[in-house]
Structure 1
Amino acid sequence: MKQTEQQFLKELENKLWTAADKLRSSLDASQYKHAVLGLIFVKYVSDAFKLRQEEIKADLANPQHEYYLDPADFSEEELAAEIAIELEQRDYYTEKNVFWLPIESRWQFLQDNGPVVIGGADLDIGGKTKKITSVGHLIDNALEAIERDNTKIKGALNKSYSGLQIDQAKLNELINLIATIPFIHADLNSKDILGHVYEYMLGQFALAEGKKGGQFYTPASIVTLIVEMIEPFEGRVYDPAMGSGGFFVQSDKFIERYAGKNEIDPITQKRKISIYGQEYNHTTWQLAAMNMAIRGLDYDFGKEPASTYTNVQHPDLRADFIMANPPFNMKEWNTGVDDNDPRFKYGQPPANNANFAWMQHMLHHLSADGSQALLLANGSMSSTTNNEGTIRQALIENDLIECMVALPGQLFTNTQIPACIWFLTKNKTARTDKAGRKLRARKGEVLFIDARNLGYMKDRVLRDFSFDDIQKVADLYHAWKTGVEVNGIAYEDQAGFCKSATLEEITKHDFVLTPGRYVGATEELDDGIPFGDKMATLTAKLSEQFAESATLEAEIKKNLVGLGYEL
C-alpha cells in the first residue's frame, strides 16, 4: 500500500474512533460495537447504491449503451420522470451485486430525518405514512427494509437500536459522524476502505471489551500468518468457530495477493472458493454476515447461530481448508454430546477442556487432501491429564501432525495464555496442492518452528507480527513442504528456530510437541562461541568449583574440631 493510502486510512481510523468513543457515553462497549458497525454497514451499502445510480444515469445518457433514453423521444418533464423510474429498477442493482435499497434504507433519508424523529414523527415513506418514534426506530426500520428486500442477509442485521440506552440526540450525532466516512478515494476502492474501517473498529472494540472482546476477534497478523501458511486458494474453506469471520477476510486478501503475483484475475479466482462457517453467539454471527456482505463474498453460515458440538450446521461438509481460533481450554463443552460421537475417533476429549474436541471436529470435516490449522493454548502440546496425552499420541502415530508453531506472548487482547498453532493434514504423500505447489513426500516428519522471538511491541502491552515476520515463517514452511527454495529460502534446520523431526524423535520425547524441545538453543551467542562448546566448558568449570567447595568444607571442619567443637 502506498504511503499516501496508509496515511489516509490512519487519519480516518483516528478520527472515527476518537469521535465515536466520545459519543459512547454510558453505553457498554459490547452494545455500542453493534450500534457503530451496523451503521457503518448501512453507510457502505448506501454509498454503493448511490454509485450504481450514477452509473445508471450515465448509461441512460450514453447513445452507445443499451439503456440509452433518446431525449428526442420525450419532453423534458417526461425524460426526467422516465429517468426517475429507471433509477428505481431493482434489476439494475442486483445484476452488479449491489444491494437494492428501498427509500427508507438510504443514508440521506436517515440524515434528513434523524433530527425530525428525535421526539417521534409521522414520515412519508414511498407514499405511505409511518409513525417513527425515535432515531433508534428510524435505524431499525431501515435495517428491516434492507433484510426484507435482500433475503441473502435476512436475520444478519442487529435491529435493536430502539432499545439502546443512549440519548437520541447522540445517536443522531453518530449518524452524522459516520456520514463523514469517505468510501471514495483516488487509489482505494470502497470495499477496501470499508473493510479496513470495519476490521479496525472490531480490533478497537476487542480492546475496549477486554477478555469478552476476544470472543469475536483474532488479531489480524495471527490470522494472516495462518492463511499465508495454509494458502486457501480454491476449494471449500471452513471455520467452525468463526467469530466475526477474520479467516475468511484474510483468505480473500490472500487470493488478491496471489492473483496479483501470478497475473490471475482475482474475481475469477475468488469464485473458486466456497465459504462455510459456524458461530454460537447470535450477535457475533451477525457481525460475520455483515463482514462478508460488505466484501461481496458468498458464504454459508448455516440456518442459524448454533453450537458446533451439538448442532452442526454443515454435517456433510468435507473442507479443503479449515482454520479456527476456538475458545482456549473451554470447560463443560460436552453437555448434550453423545459419548459415541463419530468425530472423536482418536479419543474422548475431557469434559473440562475442549481443545482436542475442536481439533477432532475439524479433522472429521477435513477432506482427504485437506489442510487445517488451529490456535490452541500451549498446554495442548504437552498435557497428559484426562486422556489428552493419549489423544495427542494417537494423532502423532497416525501421522496427522504436519507443523507446530510456538507463538510469542502478548499477542492477544483478551488473554495472556501462551498460544501455539497446530497444522494437520491427512495426506503427506508427494502431490500437487491446490495452490500449484509440488509437495514432496513428508511421511513420518513434523516441522517445529519456535517463533517466540519474532514480532515487535506495537504498544506497551500488545505484541504484533510484521508482514516480514509472517513471510519468513510461511516461506520456511513451504520450502520444507516442497524441498525447493521459496522466495530465495531453502529449508534447513536452524538451532533455536526450526527443526524437521521424525516420529521416532517425537516418541523419545513422550509425544510432547513443544517446539523448544526440538529446535534447541541458538547456535551462537554474542561472543561467537557455539552453545555446545560453551555448555561443555561451563559444566567442567562447575565440576571444578564443586570439588573446590568440598575441599574447603573438609578443611573448615578439621579446623573446627581442632578448636574443640564437635560436628
Structure 2
Amino acid sequence: MINIRKLEGELWESADLLRQGSKLTSSQYCMPVLALLFLRYAYSRYKLVEAEILKNRPSRGGRVMPVEQSDFAAKSALYLPREAQFDFLVNLPEDIASVGLENKEGQPLNSLGEAVNNAMQLLEEQSEQLTGVLPKSYTMFSDDLLRELLRIFNNKTIDEVGGDIIGRIYEYFLSKFAKAVASDDGVFFTPKSLVKMLVNVLEPEQGVMLDPACGSGGMFVQTGDFVNAAGMNANTQMTFYGQEKVEYNAQLCLMNMAVHGLNGRIVSGDEANSFYHDAFNLARKCDYVIANPPFNVDKVKAESASSAGRLPFGLPGVNTKSKEVGNANYLWINYFYAYLNDHGRAGFVMASSATDSSNKDRDIREKLVKTGHVDVMVSVGNNFFYTLSLPCSLWFFDKAKREENQDKVLFIDARKYYTVVDRTLNEWTEWQLCNLQAIVHLYRGEAEKYQALIEKYNSAIQEAVSEMMEQVKPFTELLDAETETQFKRSLTWLEGSWENYDALSKKLNEQIEQTKACVKSAEEKLKKREVKPMRLAGDEFCKVLESILIVIGEYNWLTEKFGKGEYHDIAGLCKIATLDEIAEKNYSLTPGAYVGVAEVEDDGVDFHERMNEIHAELAKLNKEANALMDAILKDWETLK
C-alpha cells in the first residue's frame, strides 16, 4: 500500500532542498513550483482522457485516427499540445537548442526555462480561466535546477495512486509554502481543519457560493470535495465566485481550483476590494457565503464603504477626524449577512475579540442577534494558524433555521479540544471534526446523522483491528525465529470479536508494551545491520496500535457526552442559549460566557492538607537556600 503522506513529504523535501541550494526566496519559488505541479496534473488528466478517447477510436487503412483538440473539448478536458506535455519537457536533451524548438512567435527556444515558459503559454491558451494566470518566469531557474524539479514531479507513484493525488500534493505544498511565504506577504492559506469545519457546518448541496476574501481558494476546494463525496458533481451543483485583492493570491486560487477540476469566477485587483465593490452584484443572491477575511483592518474610507452598500446593520465606528472605519471586522460581518438570499447560510472565521467588542460593534451585534439568523458560534484555541498564535472564532448564520431553533443559538467552546501538530501549530483531526459536527447535528434535530457517525466509528475500529495481522507482517518478518514465535503468541487475542472498547483499549496498550519488549529481545539476537530496520518496523506497528487507541478515545469523548444521540448542554463545551439569555449578557456572542466551566473531577487530595505540605516544603527549601548563601558568602570572604 502506498503511503500518500510519505509521498507528499518526500516530494516537498526534495523540492525544498533544491530551493535551499539556489538563491531563490520562498516567495520567488512558490508560484513556479505550484505551476509545475499543475502542469503535471494537466498531463495526468490528458493521458487518462486520451486513453478513454482511443478506446473506441475509428481507424482508416489500419491506422487509428489521431486524437484532436475537439475530442477533448467534448469531454470538458484540457487538450495539451505536444510541447506542453510533461513527459516532453522531462525528456528534452541538455542541449535544448539542438531540438529546434520555437515559440508561437517563431523565436527559437534555447534553454529549458524558455521551453517551460512556452509550455505554460500553450496551456493558458487551452483555458479561458487560466489566461494570464500561469507564471512564465522559469528562465530565473538554472536549467539543472529546473530539470531536477521536473524529474521530482515525474514520480511514477503519482500515477499509481491515481484519483486526486496531485490535488492533495498541491494543497500540501501550498500549506508548506504558507509558512515560509507568510512572513513576506501576509496570509493566503486558511488551515484545512478550519476550512473543513466551516464546510461541515454549512453542508453545501447546490447553489451560488461566494468567498469575498478567497485567498488561494481552499474554501472552494473543500466545498467541492464535500459535494462530490455526497455523490454529486460540484461543477454542476455549485457556482463559485471569489474576490481576492492580491493578484498573486488570486492566481494561486485559479490554479488550485483547476487542479481540483473546479470552475469559478475569480476577480482580483482594485475591483476585488470587498470594502468598496460588490464585484458580481451578489447582494441577497447567495445560497452560501464562506470566508476567512483579514482581521482588524483599519483605515477603510467610511464614505466609500457606505456608498458600496451591503450594510444592513449600519457602519461600525468611524473616526470623526480621518473619516475612516477604525476596525473593519463588522464591515465583513455586515457583508456576509447581506449577501445571503432568504434561505442562505454563511460561515466565516473572525477575530475572537469581535464576539464581545463594544460601542457600534455591540449595536450591530444586537441587530444581528435579533434577526434570529445567528445559528452557531465556535471558539477556537490558539495556534491554529501558521502565522498567528491568537485564538479566533467561527460564526455561522442560517436564514432557514428549523422552527425549534428560531430563537436559539448553539455555542461551542472548542478551545481545549484539538490535536497538537508541533510546538506552534494545532489542528482538529478528522474524528474531532466529526465530533464537533455531531453536536451541530443534534442541535439541528438530525439524530440520524449522529447514528451514522457512531456506525462509522464502529466500522473504522473493527476494520483497523481486522487489518492488524497484515500490518504487523513487516515487523515479524524482521524478528529472529525465537522472538517471532513469542510475539505471535501475544497476538492470539486478535481472533476474538471486540465490542467492548475499554477491554480493547487495554489489550492494545498491552500489545504496545509487548512489541517494545520484543524489539529489545530481538536487538540482542540479530546482526547489527538488521537491528535498525527491525526497530523502525516495530515503531511503525506501535503507531498503528496508537492510531486505533486515538479513534477509540474520540468515540468515548462523544458517546460519554451524548450517549445514543440526545443533545445535552455540556459544561465547558456547549450550550443552546435563547435570544433572551443573549440579551441578558448584553448581546455577547462569546461561547465561554454561556457554556461555563467544565466540572473538575475530585482527585482525592485534601486541599488544605496538601497546601500545608507545600508550605512546609517551601520553608525547608528556603532554609536550605539561606544556609547555602551563608556558605557562599563565607567562601567569598576567604578569597578576598
Which secondary structure does the structure 2 equivalent of 1:447 belong to? Answer: strand
Of 378, 386, 391 in structure 2, the residue corresponding to residue 405 of structure 1 is 378
Cα distance between partner residues in 1 of 2:332 and 2:222: 21
Matched, 1:101 2:80: yes
1:303 Cα deviation from its structure 2 partner: 7.8
Q: For 1:248-290, what per-residue CA distance to the aligned partner results, in whole angstroms no more than 9, with x for missing partners?
A: 111122123333xxxxxx33x6522211111111121111111
Letter aligned with residue 279 of structure 2: Q
Q: 1:353: Cα distance to partner? A: 1.7
Asked if structure 1 preserves the Cα contact closer than 8 Å seen for 2:246 and 2:268, the reply is: no
What's the offset of the Cα at 1:203? 0.7
Q: Secondary structure at the match of 1:86?
A: coil
Q: How far off is 1:525 after superposition?
A: 2.4
| Shift, 1:123, TM fit | 2.7
Correspondence for 1:263 = none
Given that residues 102 and 109 in structure 2 are in contact (C-alpha distance below 8 angstroms), is that contact kept between their aligned partners in structure 1?
Answer: no
Matched, 1:273 2:273: no
User: In the TM superposition, what are the counterparts of 1:96-175 in structure 2 within 5 Å?
Assistant: 96-113=75-92, 115-117=94-96, 123-125=100-102, 130-162=107-139, 164=140, 166-175=141-150
Match of 2:614 in 1: none
Which whole-Å CA distance do the structure 2 matches of 1:158 and 1:256 have between them?
30
Q: Of residues 548, 561, 571 in structure 2, which corresponds to 1:495?
A: 571
Among residues 225, 231, 253, which one is paired with 1:288 in the alignment? 253
Distance 1:294 1:51 in 2: 15
CA gap of 1:11–1:338, structure 2 versus 1, over 3 A, is closer
Q: Could you tell me how far 1:453 is from its partner in structure 2? A: 1.3
Q: 1:356 to 1:178 in 2, by over 3 A?
A: same
CA deviation digits over 1:144-201, x for unaligned, max 9?
1111232232222223333x3x43321222122222264322xx434x1011100100
Could you tell me which residue of structure 1 aligns to residue 291 of structure 2? 324
CA distance in structure 2 between the aligned counterparts of 1:497 and 1:416, rounded to whole angstroms: 21
- Cα distance 1:145–1:127, how it changes in 2: closer, same or farther (>3 A)? closer
Residue in structure 2 matched with residue 473 of structure 1 by the alignment: 436
Match of 2:542 in 1: none
Instruction: Select which of 386, 404, 415 maps to 1:452.
Output: 415
Kept after mapping to 1: 8 A contact 2:377/2:589:
yes
Compute the displacement of 1:37 (Å): 0.4
- CA shift, 1:334, in A, is 3.4
Q: Cα offset for 1:441?
A: 3.0
- In structure 2, relative to structure 1, the CA distance for the partners of 1:181 and 1:329 (3 Å cut) is farther
SS at match of 2:311: coil
Choose from 577, 580, 585 the match for 1:504.
580
Q: Distance in 1 between matches of 2:288 and 2:71?
A: 35
Specify whether residues 381 and 114 from structure 1 end up closer, same or farther in structure 2 by C-alpha distance, changes over 3 A only: farther
**Number of matched pairs:** 485
User: Structure 1 residues 528, 299: CA separation in 2 closer, same or farther (over 3 Å shift)?
Assistant: farther
Aligned partners of 2:214, 2:103: CA distance in 1, in Å?
39
**Do the aligned partners of 2:214 and 2:291 also contact (CA within 8 Å) in 1?**
yes
Question: 275, 280, 283: which one pairs with 1:309?
Answer: 275
Counterpart for residue 516 of structure 1: 592
Q: Is residue 482 of structure 2 the alignment partner of residue 482 of structure 1? A: no
Note the alpha carbon deviations across 1:223-250, whole angstroms, 9 max, x for none. Answer: 1111111101111121111111111111
User: Which of the numbers 6, 24, 43 marks the counterpart of 1:46?
Assistant: 43
Q: Cα–Cα, structure 1 residues 127 and 145, in superposed 2: closer, same or farther, change >3 Å? A: closer
1: distance between equivalents of 2:42 and 2:432? 36
The equivalent of 2:387 in structure 1 is: 414
TM normalised by structure 1 equals 0.80
SS at match of 2:244: coil
The runs of 5 or more residues in structure 2 that have no matched partner are 318-324, 452-564, 609-640
2:389–2:424 contact (8 Å) kept in structure 1: no
User: Aligned to 1:493, what secondary structure does the other structure show?
Assistant: coil
Q: CA deviation at 1:94?
A: 1.8
Matches within 5 A, 1:351-362: 351-362=325-336
Counterparts of 2:104 and 2:27, CA distance in 1:
37
Letter in 1 for 2:338: H
With over 3 angstroms needed to count, the CA separation of the structure-2 counterparts of 1:312 and 1:339, relative to structure 1, is closer
Question: Once the two structures are superposed, what CA deviation does each residue of 1:505-532 show, in whole Å capped at 9, x if it has no partner?
Answer: 1112111111111001113424499xxx
Q: Distance in 2 between matches of 1:528 and 1:477?
A: 35
Shift, 1:484, TM fit: 4.2
Distance 1:244 1:128, change over 3 A: closer
What SS is found at the alignment partner of 2:91? helix
Which of 8, 14, 30 in structure 1 is aligned with 2:9? 14
Q: CA RMSD in A?
A: 2.7
Residues 301 and 313, structure 1, Cα contact 8 Å, conserved in 2 = no
CA–CA distance in 2 between the matches of 1:21 and 1:95? 39
The amino acid of 2:228's aligned partner reads: E
Report the equivalent of 1:180: 155
Deviation string, structure 1 residues 392-437 (Cα, Å, up to 9, x no partner): 2221223231111001111110111210001112343x3xxxxxxx
Q: Distance in 2 between matches of 1:212 and 1:509?
A: 41
Structure 1 residues 96 and 341, CA, compared in 2 at 3 Å: closer, same or farther?
closer
Identify if the C-alpha distance between structure 1 residues 391 and 169 changes in structure 2 by more than 3 Å, giving closer, same or farther.
same
Indicate the SS of the match to 1:244.
Answer: coil
CA offsets 1:6-57 (integer angstroms, 9 cap, x no match): x1x1221121111101111221111211011000111111122123333333
The residue aligned with 1:339 is 306
